[in-house]
Structure 1
Amino acid sequence: MSLPLEGVRVLDLTRLLPGPYCSLLLADFGADVIKVEDPKIGDYARWYEPKVADQSAMFISLNRNKRSITLDLKTEKDKEVFIDLIRTSDVLIESFRPGVMERLGLGYEELKNQNPRLIYCAITGYGQTGPYAKEPGHDLNFLSYAGLLHLQGVANGNPQMSSVQIGDIGGGSLMATVGILLSIIDAKKTGKGQFVDISMLDGAVSWMQTILPDYWASNKLPNRGELVLNGGKACYEVYRTKDDRFLSVGALEFKFWRNFCQVIGKEELIDRLDDPVEQQQKMKVEIQEVILQRSLAEWLVDFEGVDACVSPVLTPQEMVENPQIIHREMIEEINHPEAGILKQIANPIKLSGQRLKLRRHAPRHGEHNVEIINELANR
């Protein structure tokens, strides 16, 4: 059975995480993703630790179903090969600072003359325009400028960083993927490609749908640890158990809160779901005292079958062994030709009638040079 993106060729000039995660989603669904890497180092993520079969574990996971060609875009010979690839491609993804591709003579205006249907997606920290456009940045910087980092953490404490890259993936990879797919649809109607300008800062700001509208409506600036979904209410909190594990409680709605209070023997708190922040903090103390009396396993037995939105805080190892994760096949095993059996994160997008399979292992640096050059010569 054919995959949705079969016949779509993507040139990926990106490195590390945001761009490769975007092209991974496209590659999994059939796109011919060609990593265009410089001959010396290539994608830096290849060389991170820990390594599996001489390449980093992260690289192998992020770059399955892709091919690799090495080109020095500062040389005329390799630029000619790149232009030939552009003529046969539907999408280009790059993550250089604005102006880099133009200085190479390979900016969008030049490339669309070679291929009017080309969809050119640039993933940058701050976008192609504005006073920060050419500034460097990482996920932490994007979340800082977005006002998001300011709100993460507990009241009266320092802002706390996320364990995953919200700006890189949520603001960059996913927005780029959506922009590319929209442009593919549009190109079928118009016959023309377009420039997709993705700013990871813009994407991070767009994630604040539960925060900014309320702030503008109330004119009240939210404080760290006081948002409903960030420690502001006793019904939405993480509590420590007797065995130093954690129980997460997401009993936002009254029916869930009522059930939660009944199980822990605190029926007097049922009608206090929407108490002021000061009272919420006192309620948390009361609840924590109760939760500390039993182990995580004991609480899970008590809450089994009860609609209260209560969950154990799992370790990554426990997550892999969780029956829901197993049933959804979110962790899959592959047979790597050099490393043997490896675990990888599966694609989370489930389409009816589509069962994704590994078609290619992550490529070695320049592994497909000859193959791709021969394809160009024989087209």
Structure 2
Amino acid sequence: MHLDDVRVLDLTRLLPGPYATQLLADLGADVIKIEDPDAGDYARHLPPRTPDGTGAVFEAVNRGKRSVTLDLKTDDGRDAFLRLVEDADVLIESFRPGVVDRLGIDYETVSDRNPDLVYCSISGYGQDGPYRDHAGHDLGYVGLAGLLDVTRSDTDERPRIPGYPVADMAGGLSAAFAIVSALLSRELGGRGGTYLDCSLSDAVLSFSQAVATPALYGDEPRPGDGFFTGGHPWYNVYETADDRYVTLSALEPKFWQAFCDAVDRPDLASVHGTRDETEQAALRAELEAVFADRTREEWVEFATPQIPIAPVLTPAEALDHPQFADRGMVRRGDDPAILSPIRGASPAPSETPAHGEHTRAVLEAIGCDEAEIEGLLEGD
């Protein structure tokens, strides 16, 4: 599927919204990034920076977009933006709830100009609820949604901040999915304009289903006890002889049997599936000793399609791994990037827009004359 004829007005900044629109751009959409005239997207200036001085986060999620600077707090800037709305398919914004109303670009207002517009709001906690107006970032969202509590080996350990910004990425992915679904519905003859409310904390909570669902039946999932959170020795992380780590994910009995046979420990096969804590502790100790006999790379070579062992890689090692190279996930050279996870997406755009780089061209395309453009640029 390609979105070559879809135009997106992107009022987001930092990470969740730009990741959502990057996914759309990778599918071929024309993404026009609307930035304030002063600093633009905050991520442009956040460390770490690329060799040309651009914030690495900004460059990662803004490839192939067009940047237009407009001051939406002025009448002229807002009027120019509403003219852009008339030819757009999607508007996505990540202001705190209520800001678009004050700016005069809320859904009701813009849908009067374009009834077929898909309008998506991304926010930390959503457009309603007691936390609606609270400021927040990824850490707060994963804390509220229960992820932080189980990101540790047991209840005595301090919760650990996840290595990746899970809420930001989950929220961006959810928004992109919702937008494409709304566009498809419109294309198939459903309703035209649609308002989408995407909450980052909701997105994380929706990821909890395999862990949190027992709580709906009165149980309390605890760190280190769950099926997917280290509660079972056959689904866990083990240290190797060179002080590195590998994962063992032998959930199915056939994979566990294959592992036991390969390490010449058929005596361990029958313990798979036990709920007895003493037996589990003994099995974990046996496996710790088994894995300590080989280095991480030796275990990687030992693994087969029937023995689910994988290395625990650093982010830098992951980018160099042949699996991702073969899948075309990483671009090296003069313009390095981590690319779209969607096979069949458009060839990834390589250029990241300079602040306001496309303002004149975009405004000319909607019929602004030279005097109007100069007025808007001077206002910048």
Check whether the contact 1:226–1:277 (CA below 8 A) recurs between aligned residues. Answer: no
State TM-score, norm by structure 1: 0.92
Using the TM superposition, give the Cα deviation of residue 179 of structure 1 relative to its aligned residue in structure 2, in angstroms: 1.0
Q: Is residue 131 of structure 2 the alignment partner of residue 115 of structure 1?
A: no
Structure 1 residues 96 and 129, CA, compared in 2 at 3 Å: closer, same or farther? same
Q: Is residue 341 of structure 2 the alignment partner of residue 348 of structure 1?
A: yes
Distance, in Å, in 1 between the alignment partners of 2:20 and 2:319 is 23
Q: Is residue 127 of structure 2 the alignment partner of residue 128 of structure 1?
A: yes
How many residue pairs match? The answer is 365
Check whether the contact 1:233–1:277 (CA below 8 A) recurs between aligned residues. Answer: no
1:277-296 alpha-carbon deviations (Å, 9 max, x no partner): 52323311121122112222
User: For residue 252 of structure 2, what is the aligned residue in structure 1?
Assistant: 253
State the AA in 1 paired with 2:162: S
**Sequence identity (%):** 39
Check whether the contact 1:121–1:195 (CA below 8 A) recurs between aligned residues. Answer: yes
Q: Is residue 24 of structure 2 the alignment partner of residue 31 of structure 1?
A: no
User: For residue 375 of structure 1, what is the aligned residue in structure 2?
Assistant: 365
User: For residue 18 of structure 1, what is the aligned residue in structure 2?
Assistant: 16
Using the TM superposition, give the Cα deviation of residue 315 of structure 1 relative to its aligned residue in structure 2, in angstroms: 2.2
Distance, in Å, in 1 between the alignment partners of 2:215 and 2:129 is 25
Check whether the contact 1:36–1:70 (CA below 8 A) recurs between aligned residues. Answer: yes
State the AA in 1 paired with 2:247: S
Distance, in Å, in 1 between the alignment partners of 2:349 and 2:210 is 39
State the AA in 2 paired with 1:331: V
Alignment of 1:48-197 (within 5 A): 48-52=46-50, 53-155=52-154, 156-170=156-170, 172-188=171-187, 189-190=189-190, 192-197=192-197
5+ unaligned residues in a row in structure 2: which ranges? Answer: 370-380
State the AA in 1 paired with 2:19: Y
Alignment of 1:322-337 (within 5 A): 322-333=321-332
SS of 1:123's equivalent in the other structure is strand
Query: Which range moved further: 225-234 or 161-170?
Result: 161-170
User: For residue 318 of structure 1, what is the aligned residue in structure 2?
Assistant: 317
Distance, in Å, in 2 between the alignment partners of 1:310 and 1:361 is 38
State the AA in 2 paired with 1:9: R
Query: Which range moved further: 317-326 or 40-49?
Result: 317-326
Using the TM superposition, give the Cα deviation of residue 137 of structure 1 relative to its aligned residue in structure 2, in angstroms: 1.1
Check whether the contact 2:211–2:228 (CA below 8 A) recurs between aligned residues. Answer: no
Check whether the contact 2:7–2:90 (CA below 8 A) recurs between aligned residues. Answer: yes
Structure 1 residues 378 and 71, CA, compared in 2 at 3 Å: closer, same or farther? closer
Q: Is residue 284 of structure 2 the alignment partner of residue 284 of structure 1?
A: yes
SS of 1:51's equivalent in the other structure is coil
Distance, in Å, in 2 between the alignment partners of 1:362 and 1:147 is 36
Using the TM superposition, give the Cα deviation of residue 208 of structure 1 relative to its aligned residue in structure 2, in angstroms: 1.4
State TM-score, norm by structure 2: 0.92
Distance, in Å, in 2 between the alignment partners of 1:277 and 1:108 is 56
1:44 paired residue among 29, 42, 45: 42
Structure 1 residues 154 and 372, CA, compared in 2 at 3 Å: closer, same or farther? same
Query: Which range moved further: 238-247 or 369-378?
Result: 369-378
1:46-98 alpha-carbon deviations (Å, 9 max, x no partner): 11223232312221221011000011111111111111111111111111111
RMSD: 1.7
Check whether the contact 1:259–1:306 (CA below 8 A) recurs between aligned residues. Answer: no
Query: Which range moved further: 157-166 or 99-108?
Result: 157-166
Distance, in Å, in 2 between the alignment partners of 1:191 and 1:114 is 16
5+ unaligned residues in a row in structure 1: which ranges? Answer: 335-340
Using the TM superposition, give the Cα deviation of residue 373 of structure 1 relative to its aligned residue in structure 2, in angstroms: 1.0
Structure 1 residues 378 and 323, CA, compared in 2 at 3 Å: closer, same or farther? same
Distance, in Å, in 2 between the alignment partners of 1:327 and 1:347 is 14
Structure 1 residues 191 and 300, CA, compared in 2 at 3 Å: closer, same or farther? closer
User: For residue 372 of structure 2, what is the aligned residue in structure 1?
Assistant: none
Query: Which range moved further: 289-298 or 97-106?
Result: 289-298
Alignment of 1:194-213 (within 5 A): 194-213=194-213
